[in-house]
């Protein structure tokens, strides 16, 4: 079992680190998306309740099977109220849902991730070229602080904070969600890192 690796900025913050509640995030199903699979997404079996500061890790592997087409979404990683999660585990565009989306980005001619809030792109990063057999692996750390209503996203291997989503409404429990969209184009595997 993996131990969580905390970003230095989190470990060195005395207001945050001692208060972090790490618990094992279990999904209601395994997330491995391959060609011809109907399976779409997974949701955490437990929600993050207020008050609390939570940290969890997602290890993500992506591989291009066939080049992505215009407007293709690859993957969504987020948190959302149970009522905002549909049967396929999609949460994009819902009111009480916050997510990072991997998609085909024509401007970069690549698979990129972005986070959009209030119609503004607050984070953007290219993951891999849009070519067969291109691969990428990311270890993402997520810090949800229900006291301040912030959801921070870290690149654990590079130990940098990628993005802060603010005004996260934590009045009701938020569940971690991952969903895959186009298994015929991109093969995706996501694993939740677990606590000690």
Which of 32/114 has CB closer to Zn ion? 114
**Backbone φ/ψ region at 149: left (φ over 0), alpha (ψ -120 to 50), beta:** left
Taking the complex as a whole, the smallest distance from the CB of residue 191 to Zn ion amounts, in Å, to 25
Identify any residues that bridge with 37 across adjacent strands, giving them in sequence order: none
Q: Does 162 bind Zn ion (CB under 5 A)?
A: no
Pick the binder of Zn ion from 40, 43, 81, 105 (CB under 5 A): 105
Q: Which is nearer to Zn ion, 112 or 140 (CB)?
A: 112
| Closest distance of CB 73 from Zn ion, Å | 13
**Cβ proximity to Zn ion, 24 vs 125, nearer residue:** 125
Radius of gyration of the chain (CA): 16
Residue 108 binds Zn ion (CB under 5 A) = yes
The residue within the footprint of Zn ion, chosen from 84, 91, 112, 128 (CB under 5 A), is 112
Of 96 and 103, the one with the shorter C-beta distance to Zn ion is 103
Q: Would you count residue 122 as binding Zn ion (CB under 5 A)?
A: no
Interaction site with Zn ion (CB under 5 A):
105, 108, 112
């Amino acid at each position: 079992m993996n131990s969580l690796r905390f970003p230095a900025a989190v470990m060195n913050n005395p207001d945050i680190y001692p208060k972090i509640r790490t618990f094992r995030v279990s999904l209601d199903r395994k997330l491995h998306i391959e060609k011809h699979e109907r399976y779409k997404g997974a949701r955490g079996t437990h929600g993050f309740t207020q008050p609390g500061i939570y940290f969890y890790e997602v290890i993500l592997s992506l591989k291009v099977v066939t080049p992505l087409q215009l407007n293709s979404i690859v993957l969504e990683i987020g948190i959302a109220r149970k009522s905002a999660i549909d049967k396929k585990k999609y949460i994009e565009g819902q009111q009480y849902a916050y997510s990072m989306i991997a998609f085909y980005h024509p401007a970069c001619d690549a698979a990129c991730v972005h986070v959009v809030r209030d119609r503004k792109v607050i984070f953007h990063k290219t993951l891999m070229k849009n070519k067969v057999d291109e691969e990428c692996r990311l270890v993402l750390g997520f810090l949800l602080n229900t006291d301040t209503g912030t959801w921070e996203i870290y690149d654990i291997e590079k130990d940098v904070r990628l993005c802060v989503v603010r005004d996260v409404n934590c009045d009701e429990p938020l569940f971690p969600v991952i969903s895959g969209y186009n298994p015929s184009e991109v093969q995706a595997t996501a694993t939740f890192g677990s606590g000690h």
